[in-house]
Structure 1
Amino acid sequence: MNKLKNLDFNMLVLYVLLTFFVIPRDLQQEFSVVFIIGFFLINIIYVSINDIEIKIKKIDILLYSLSGVICIVILIISPYTTVFTISTFVFLIIAHMSISKKHYISKQYLNRIIYIMCLVSIIIQLILGRYNTINGKISLSIIGDKNFSGVVIILFFMYCSKNKFFLGEILSVFFILILDSRASLLTLVLFLVVKLFKNTIYVLLQRFRLNKIYKLFILMFIITVSISYIWVYKVAIDGVKEYQQGLNDTSNKMRFVANIYAIDLLKNNKEKLIFYGYDNDFKDIFGIYDYEIDLHRRFMGVRLVQPHNSILNINIRSGIIFSLLYFYILSRIIDKLYTKDNLEYILPYLFSTLFLHELLNRKFLVFWLILLCLPSNKVFFTKKYKIKM
């Protein structure tokens, strides 16, 4: 069973490396389909050849069965597409099969190869990203958006931090400054703060009984709703500044207005959205289009965009029941890795999910989970030697 989980983890690492650092943007969907098919085929063949007995907890069987039934119901009754919801559920299963408390990249030289490969890819992508970015003056060419590019570099920074690749950490900070992504810069600052005050923060989390990830998810949702209403009705009421001219600018107002619009949809259409969401058709419901920004629906004085909060985004696209099950199952997976050592890798990333969508599902999720699985490469200094553990 351990060998199978190691195999699955290695396949997931390969998927992340190819998805974020090799495969062009136009081929991402096709590659994901090939990976999913290959992943399950290899598992079936490996289990058959080695006659492995798979042990699953009863609670996991119940939760995944319920989620599977909900997916079938969505397929039958939803008038909208179901690609987003089904792929989100499939990657949740893959994460469950692959993730355990600690995984080691077996050879140190492989770690260095991965590090160099990612670093070279990031540099090349930033050079190419000057000419084909969708959002911002520069981005990773495979991603096309400066904010999501920032998330990739933050995750690379975390990988360097765990493996004590100091040059990679310094270059990551430089890359984030080049991208000019406020969310990524804030996440980086939060990482350093949590690392510096880890002991105190850990004690506070235990004292307030925030020792389970699902409790953090609930708190995050409450914070999202509260900040959205406070920002729109209190902070932005006297007017906003131009894009990136301050915190109270049009960009932030659009994000919070989109959250309020999504919350209103969930309240006013709960009879439908309790069973299924708008999936990839949400852009038609929101009146937002990739090909013409000027035609976007306007709401509360600004251009409408999709909900940028990861939890809210999944709710509006997959329905309430599925989302509740999804986040509870996901919390059980992350709980295995929710340790004091991982605190600076968990809290800042969860913070970034408050302002960016799709960080808690599919490819970004598995990238983050892989990092949480990796042990920290602790360095001890003596008078003559540097020893890595």
Structure 2
Amino acid sequence: MVMSTAWQVVEYPDGEVLGEQFALTEMELPDVADGHVLVRNTWTSVDPGLRLRLRPSAPSGYFAAFPLRRPMDGILTVGVIEQSRAEGFPVGSCVWHSYGWRSHAVVDPGKAAMNGLASLRVLDLKRAPAQAYLGPLGGMGLTAYAGLHVIDALDGAGTLWVSAAAGAVGSLVCQIAKFSGLRVVASAGTDEKVAWLRNDIGVDAAFNWRAGPLEESLRAVAPEGLDFYFDNVGGTHLEAALEAMNNNGRVSLCGSISDYEREAVGPRNLFLATSKNLTLRGFRGSAHAPLLDIMQERLAPWLADGRLAYRESIYEGLESAPAALADMMAGRTVGKTMIRI
């Protein structure tokens, strides 16, 4: 008999994420059947999108809301196989799968998870350390790469603004775009994050969006206007981007974190998408799983030789997961947020 420690949602947050909305429980796992493996999880992801699932119903078309008082599935996680009855998945292999925020999981390699992105997969630790597969070589890297891909910004010229640029996705977007030849301007919510974006990420310009009127700050770093915008924030940020976009500009709609814990705001100037002939392209990284191998082939050498700057906000122990999510939503983390179990 194998026991797993797992987080459950006991109450949907109304506003900010708090620890009492979760419960850490013990559950007995089933025996490992033919074709299945037992994984001891070592790292588990913390992502803004989890907040969308902490509701009675998630947005239409998105991953389902977390059911109350049941283990939280659909969270990318890295671990080590301890028992295996599945060909091609030997004991001791490092893998990823979708049964996160728990200590152990029995996984069926034949079951597609998260649109195929998080199906059981053996990871190449010669290419990168295990936790990198939760960041630049995993879902975060795929989201960054796919978001630029869908607006044809990977091979071209122009100016790109990235909001929430010090986050796991935003910081990768900035660097992929720079390596692709774009001029990149970035915004974040603290001076420390802005300094990191300038000095380590290497963006062309960066600003603290809290330090002054957003449209004025954006105009100061992009007086010629924007050709592309990668939106992680929504609300007033998207509104400012629409104002600054050049004719025929393209917007990648990745996230709307400003709306995740409060009532949605704006944009009030959406007609600019019509008058400026703009393209607003919503996307989800997991919907572009066929790009995963291409993304890894492109980013892995940059990561290995140090060209790709990458920061992690690591929380120790499974018990820290709700606090990590709360800190990330409040903007207190930098780069990829994850739990070392």
Interval containing the TM-score (normalised by the shorter chain)? under 0.3
- Greater per-residue helix proportion: 1
**Normalized against structure 2, the TM-score is what?**
0.28
TM-score (norm 1): 0.26
In terms of fraction of residues, the more strand-rich structure is: 2
